[in-house]
Amino acid sequence: MATRQGLDASIINRLGADEQTMFFAVKAEFDSDDILIWSGTDDLVLNSETYTGAGSFLNISNVEENLELKSNGLSVGISGMDLTVVNLALTENYQNRPITLFLGYAMGGTNEVAGTLTLFKGRMTSLVIQDTPQGSTVSIDAENRLVDLDRPSNFRYTKESQNFLHSGDTSLNRVASLQDKQIVWGKTSSTAGGGRGGPGRGESEAGQIPNRDVFRT
């Protein structure tokens, strides 16, 4: 599969062909199953998965791209789908579940995929189902993964956060005990006159720090 940074040879060859078919495919991932639909008719095998043809019942918002590092969203509308898709949307947890939009090219007049690239990859934020006389419509809004750059990190330098990332790691187990703890850096200077060969008041031995520097954590 090609990425946006480079088209593979199969897509480049199709762009120069006399007859070609461009399509969109959407993969919405849920815990028990996935919604796999594409903009053509009949079934389409893509990445060893079978996508159901939605035809004109699949509506996809414009996918924006520019030179700025910006988190653009995506909206997908599915109309007239069977009850299995509706039940999946009703019963499954959709929040922050992955969703991917592919742009593909098929051999002219067939459903044989020549190549694809990923137009959008993000997470679902809302899912709305509307019932009409013509059937049910599922509307999905998604946000780009770049939106995480605008959110503050919830990670803290604590035992709990470290174990969440690396189970069994004990490197931060004693962090809590260091809170408001005074740490004395260096050795204390002599308070009395130095004896024979020893430092006098205000003097220090070579290599020693004469005064206390107190740091608070």
pLDDT digits (tens, 9 = 90+) for 29-79: 988 888 899 998 889 898 889 998 888 888 888 876 666 666 678 889 888
Q: Checking DSSP bridges between strand 58-60 and strand 49-53, what pairing results, if any?
A: unpaired
Buried b / exposed e across 19-31, counting CB within 10 Å, b at 16+? Answer: ebbebbbbbbbbe
pLDDT tens sequence across 158-196: 888 888 878 888 888 888 787 777 778 777 665 555 455
Residue 203 has pLDDT above 60, yes or no: no
Question: Which residue do the tokens 């956060």 mark?
Answer: 161
Q: Checking DSSP bridges between strand 34-38 and strand 49-53, what pairing results, if any?
A: parallel
Q: Quick check: 85 and 113 in contact, CB under 8 A?
A: no
Query: Rounded CA gap, 61 and 6, in Å?
Result: 23
Q: Quick check: 102 and 117 in contact, CB under 8 A?
A: yes
26 — pLDDT class (breaks 50, 70, 90): very high
Identify the CA nearest to 130 among candidates 122, 140, 120, 121. 140
What is the predicted pLDDT for the residue at 188? Answer: 67
Query: Rounded CA gap, 23 and 88, in Å?
Result: 24
Exposed, middle or buried by CB within 10 Å (0-12, 13-18, 19+), for 167?
Answer: exposed
Cα-Cα-Cα-Cα torsion 108, 113, 118, 124, nearest 10 degrees, comes to: 110
Identify the CA nearest to 96 among candidates 53, 151, 137, 45. 151
Average pLDDT over the chain reads 75
Calculate mean pLDDT across residues 19-35: 87
Query: Rounded CA gap, 155 and 196, in Å?
Result: 56
What is the predicted pLDDT for the residue at 25? Answer: 93
Q: What separation in angstroms does the CA of 10 have from each of 40, 48, 53, 100?
A: 20, 17, 23, 21
CA angle 134, 137, 141 (to 5 degrees): 165
Task: Record the pTM.
Answer: 0.60
Q: Quick check: 116 and 10 in contact, CB under 8 A?
A: no
Question: Which residue do the tokens 């051999």 mark?
Answer: 107
CA angle 25, 27, 29 (to 5 degrees): 175
93 — pLDDT class (breaks 50, 70, 90): confident
What is the predicted pLDDT for the residue at 165? Answer: 79
Calculate mean pLDDT across residues 116-123: 88
